[in-house]
Amino acid sequence: MKRLKLFCEKLSLFSCRFVRLLALGLTGFLFLGAFFFTCYSENMETQQVLTKWDNPLSSLLGLAVLSAAVLGVLGAIHLLRRLFPALRAGRLLLFLVMAWCLFVGAALILFGRTVPAADSMSVYSAAEALAGGDTSVIHPTDSYLSYYPQQIGLVAFYELLIRFWKLLPFSLPAYHFIKCVNVLFSCVILLFQYKTVHLLWQNERTDCIYLTLAGGFLPFLMYPSFVYGEIPSFAAASIGFYCLGRLFWSLTSDTTAKNKAPGIQKPLLYLFSATVFLTLAVMLRKNSLIFIIAAVLAAFFQWLRERKHLLLVFALVCTICSLSILPLVQKTYEIRAHSTLKSGVPAISYLAMGMQESSRGNGWYNGFNFNTYQSTGMDTEETAALSRAAIGERLQYFRENPKAFAAFYAGKLLSQWADGTYACRQATLATFGGRSSFFDSLYAGDASSYVIDYCNAFQNLFYLGAFLFFVWDIRKSRRKENSPLGLFLYLWIIAVMGGFLFHIAWEANSRYIFLYAMLLLPYGARGLYLFGRYISGCVPRSAKGNA
């Protein structure tokens, strides 16, 4: 038994070291790609992704200006704390950034005048029909949901919101209400990401840098106007991650660590809450399964270290619930409508499309999955066979043209990870009319270039911060200093790695990368704090601890 325990502890330690090295390589790659390249869209009709070289001096200047802005915020907080010693700077800044998010969200709703379009309109329309008692959208052939049944969870959520909206004495379309709810969800994200950052490092300056980054992250401010699953799903995931962190703290055998976070001895409550909210994240956005995989891996390797069986219970229950929630919601609707839905476009069609050219960018949506499924009469097996054949053709082409293979995937990766806007302009472009001239300029006018440049510089900043964090973390690990939370410290970066690998193969879109960028912000904040501490010489190089 002792040998088994020792083996498990070594395996847990190895997993942390392995993740650190992978994280260092990934964040370094992301930073260099974003530092030397910018991907962006100028034409909002074609939305073609363009790639340009960045002048390194311009990139350095952008980093310097934004770093100075972060330092300015920290300096103001330091001054306030000297004037008011009892002031809790982190909570004050949290309140201010939340107020800022509410203000920007309200301005976008009132003057940006975004309307759902494409998939978001299809999901919204299905939910609106169901809220009105029309179940014809649950149909084996004549239904958007028979092409994309994975959207059924988001439809169910929107139906609840629309039903509630109809109880109120307003005649406006319900999507305005959904945008308001998304703005509130952005505050939920901010709150629980902040709480998780504090749980991990228990350092007020790191908390404040995170809040500053979140408040300055333009895609985070704009995406609440996008009527789709990103914001509500990530809000649920943020709560789930925080509860999972609390579960890890409550089960750690490190009594010193426990004393740093009192009042958390409720493991069953945290297990239940983490499972519920992570499952809800999957219901609202199926790609959140990547978050589940990261959480389950973290729980398993922490179990190897701590031998607390509640961690295995969480991993098992969370896996079962996450895989069951969408089929359960679909079955509920089928019973209600006395009809059925098709199994939908097979996943392999997305993989085939991810290997193809597109007018927007390498591997971006070109209609292959939808058109192939439709041309086969919605026959899943035949569609899968045609998709496999298409994959075979592309593999043969890439084998014969290795340079084309390298260029294709380099372009595909850059178009997603080096776009600092994360397609927030494209996602919120559609309008019902009356958009103010200021917002028109931000989307397609002269001001759009400033948006692109700012977002690119901001992306460089938090990519660099994340890279610096993992440089520091590897140096720290050599001094045998490891977090009592084990892999939970790397939960976000594990999810980012999963998303990176997934979107090498899957359909490309920088919008899909937005949530992974949100997961990098905490590491960016910590890395910037550590770099600033090192530069200032506040702590000698040989100092130890988790300050």
pLDDT value of position 482: 58
CB 196 within 8 A of CB 525: no
Q: Is residue 328 part of a domain?
A: yes
545 assigned to some structural domain: no
What pLDDT score was predicted for residue 255? 52
Tell me: the pLDDT tens digits for 283-329?
999 999 999 999 999 999 888 887 788 999 999 999 999 999 999 99
324, part of any domain: yes
Q: Per mean pLDDT, which range of 159-163, 287-291, 433-437 is the poorest?
A: 433-437
- Over residues 254-283, the pLDDT tens digits come to 555 555 555 556 889 999 999 999 999 999
The torsion angles phi and psi of 508, rounded to 5 degrees, stand at: -90, 150
pLDDT at position 478 is: 63
The residues, ordered by sequence, that sit 6+ positions from 520 with a Cβ below 8 Å of its Cβ are 27, 30, 462, 463, 466, 492, 493, 496
Residue 537, Ramachandran bin (φ over 0: left; ψ between -120 and 50: alpha; else beta): left
Amino acid 88: pLDDT? 83
**Calpha distance 269→238 (Å, rounded):** 16
pLDDT at 541: 47
Q: Does 527 or 437 have the greater pLDDT score?
A: 527
pLDDT value, residue 543: 45
Mean pLDDT of the chain: 90
Tens-digit pLDDT profile for residues 35-94: 999 999 988 888 899 999 999 999 999 999 999 999 888 888 878 778 777 778 889 899
Give the largest Cα separation in the chain, rounded: 71
Q: Does residue 242 register a pLDDT over 50?
A: yes
| Confidence tier at 479 by pLDDT (50, 70, 90) | low
Full residue range of the structural domain in which residue 418 is found: 2-536
Residue 108 is assigned to a structural domain of this protein: yes
The total number of structural domains in the chain stands at 1
Answer yes or no: is 375 within a domain.
Answer: yes
What pLDDT is stored for residue 10 in this prediction? 77
In this predicted structure, what is the pLDDT of residue 223? 97
Over range 434-463, report the average pLDDT.
Answer: 91
Q: What is the pLDDT of residue 358?
A: 92
62, 460 Cβ separation under 8 angstroms: yes
CA–CA gap between residue 23 and residue 440 (Å, rounded): 39
Categorize the per-residue pLDDT at 534 as very low, low, confident or very high, splitting at 50, 70 and 90: confident
Tens digit of each residue's pLDDT (9 = 90 or more) over 190-202: 999 999 999 999 9
Residue 306 pLDDT:
78
Which pLDDT belongs to residue 254? 59
| Cβ atoms of residues 245 and 212 within 8 Å | no
Tell me if residue 40 falls in helix, strand or coil.
Answer: strand
* Alpha-helical segments (H) within 40-118: 56-83, 89-107
3-state secondary structure 366-430: CCHHHHHHHHCCCCHHHHHHHHHHHHHHHHHHHHHCHHHHHHHHHHHHHHHHCCCCCCHHHHCCC
**Distant-in-sequence, close-in-space partners of 349: CB < 8 Å, separation ≥ 6:** 368, 369, 372, 373, 383, 384, 387
Q: Could you say which DSSP state residue 87 is in?
A: -
Is there a domain that residue 179 lies in?
A: yes
Under 8 Å between Cβ of 124 and 116 = yes
For residues 451-465, average pLDDT: 96
Distance CA 152, CA 461 (A): 37
Strand partners, 39: 51
Q: Is residue 542 domain-resident?
A: no
**What are the pLDDT digits (tens) for 138-156?**
999 888 999 999 999 999 9
Q: How many residues does the chain have?
A: 547
Q: What are phi and psi of 408, to 5 degrees?
A: -65, -50
Q: Does residue 541 fall inside a structural domain?
A: no
Average of per-residue pLDDT across 428-437: 87
DSSP state of 156: H
Query: Average of pLDDT values for 221-247?
Result: 96
Would you place residue 444 in the very low, low, confident or very high pLDDT band (cuts 50, 70, 90)? confident
> Residues 483, 261: contact at Cβ < 8 Å?
no
pLDDT at residue 546 tops 90: no
Q: What is the pLDDT of residue 265?
A: 64
How does DSSP classify residue 258?
A: H
Q: Tell me how far apart the alpha carbons of residues 338 and 340 are, in angstroms, rounded to a whole number.
A: 7
